[in-house]
Amino acid sequence: METIQTHARYVEWLSADEMHNHSKEWLSQLEFIRDEHLFFEDLIKSNTLQLINPEKFAHNKEIIDAINRSQKHNNLLIEAIQTHENELKILVDGINQPKEEEAYKKEHRGLIVKISEFLKYYRTLKVQLFDIVKAIKKEEKIRLLIDGK
């Protein structure tokens, strides 16, 4: 019985323009995420007292650490995509370099997977952080209502 190859191979049919557009789109998304990380830092700083609540500290610290790791991973992906974008000349220089061109396409396939996995992970992390902040805001609102009566 033969095994069937299940890896994505459509990159071989992508033109240099399409791969360039992928890279631009990825950079745009990752730079936006970089800005969101700055927002998260401000959000965390403004809610520090509530985040260090002993009852929830371990969980909150885990999320904050995950955000820091996400920020580092995001920066590494930006660097990788910028390098990948700079190497696009291999495909458009008019010189027939089959090994180098195949290596570039293989790298592009790898980036497709890495970016997709990172974005999925990041969205989950973002939801978790907002759930924590939402719970903090609810507790504050209830406390204000109780104190006001």
pLDDT of residue 108: 92
CA dist 129 and 60 (Å) reads 8
Write the pLDDT tens digit of every residue in 2-60: 544 445 555 557 788 898 899 999 999 999 999 999 999 998 888 887 888 788 788 88
32 vs 96, higher pLDDT: 32
CA distances from 121 to 2, 66, 74, 126 (A): 34, 10, 11, 9
**Interacting residues of 136 by C-beta distance below 8 A, sequence separation 6+:** 47, 50, 51
pLDDT of residue 77: 97
Write the pLDDT tens digit of every residue in 59-74: 888 888 999 999 999 9
Confirm whether pTM is higher than 0.85: no
* Average pLDDT over all residues of the chain: 86
